Amino acid sequence: MRLEYLHDFEDLVLSGLTLSDALDKIEGFHGSVAPGILMGGLMIDLAQELIGASILYNVVVETPYCLPDAVQIFTPCTVGNNWLKVVDYGRFAVSVYDKDNGEGIRVWVDLNKLEHFPDVFNWFLKRVPKKALPLEVLLPAILLAGREMFSYGHVQVFDLAWGVKKGDVGVCPACGESYPVNHGKICRACAEGPYYRAADE
């Protein structure tokens, strides 16, 4: 996909993809070229460069909005293969870390830097109505800001909570479906109440 208003950035390479291929992949997976995915792609590209090509990494994102898809588009890490975890802190930040020892890089949007890019800043903090910043303004502004709007730090990720294996599978005596026995004597849906009711109840 070529977007005329991104003409100045045609030579950009994002996680090994040309901008045109990256835009295709974003639209194909996410459904649209959302600004948050493009921003996320820039963050991931930076984190990948910093951690180095030789490291097998896992990823944590700190918001369920956009960023999980950026990771799933630009890395081999997905929710379902468990190399990507989502924690809902509501922060637009990503940690890419060595899956063997938890050492990695956290990249975040640094508001002190972002304020130098008013259009991106105003979109990011929802300071202006959405339609005041159409994609043909916002997407080039994001690419122009590039890595200048991020900060990063080296982190040690505590992986113990997530690294646990599924363990044994049992049959929930309440609902009769299978579940991981380390969840308790009955499955969580039966223990906590599910997100649905049967339509005939």
Binding to its own copies in span 104-163, by CB under 8 A: 104, 106, 108-109, 111-112, 124-126, 153-158, 161
Kindly write out the interface string for residues 24-43 of this chain, putting x where it contacts its own copies by CB under 8 A and - elsewhere.
Answer: -----xxx--x--x------
Is there binding between residue 16 and its own copies (CB under 8 A)?
no
If one asks whether residue 11 binds its own copies (CB under 8 A), the answer comes out as: no
Q: Which of 50, 56, 128, 171 binds its own copies (CB under 8 A)?
A: 171
Among positions 80-99, residues that touch its own copies (CB under 8 A) are: 80-82, 86-93, 95, 97
**Residue 135 and residue 35 in contact, taking contact as beta carbons nearer than 8 Å:** yes
Phi-psi region of 184 (alpha: psi -120 to 50; beta: other; left: phi over 0): left
> Nearer to its own copies by C-beta: 16 or 64?
64
By CB atoms closer than 10 A (0-12, 13-18, 19+), residue 130 is exposed
Specify whether the CB–CB gap between 142 and 23 falls below 8 A. Answer: no
Among 11, 54, 129, 199, the residue binding its own copies under the rule CB under 8 A is: 199
Which C-beta is closer to its own copies: that of 11 or that of 200? 200
- How near is the Cβ of 137 to its own copies at its closest, in Å? 19
Beta carbon of residue 4, minimum distance to its own copies (angstroms, whole number): 25
Token readout for 28 is 């194909």
Please choose, out of 6-14, 44-52, 138-146, 169-177, the segment that lies near its own copies by the rule CB under 8 A.
169-177
Spatial separation of the C-alpha atoms in residues 44 and 72, rounded to whole Å: 10
Contact 157, 104 (CB under 8 A): yes
**Binding residues with its own copies: total (CB under 8 A):** 71
Query: Which tokens go with 194?
Result: 């599910």
Give the span between the Cα atoms of 87 and 90, in whole angstroms.
8
Per CB under 8 A, 185 contacts its own copies:
no
Interacting residue with its own copies among 41, 42, 47, 62 (CB under 8 A): 62
Q: With the C-alpha atoms ordered 136, 112, 108, 52, is the resulting torsion angle positive or negative? A: positive
Q: How far is the CB of 63 from its own copies (least distance, A)?
A: 9
Q: Treating both helix axes as pointing N-terminal to C-terminal, what angle do 35-51 and 19-30 enclose, rounded to 10 degrees?
A: 120
Tell me which of 52, 164, 178, 185 binds its own copies, using CB under 8 A: 178
CB-based burial label for 185 (10 Å; 0-12, 13-18, 19+): exposed
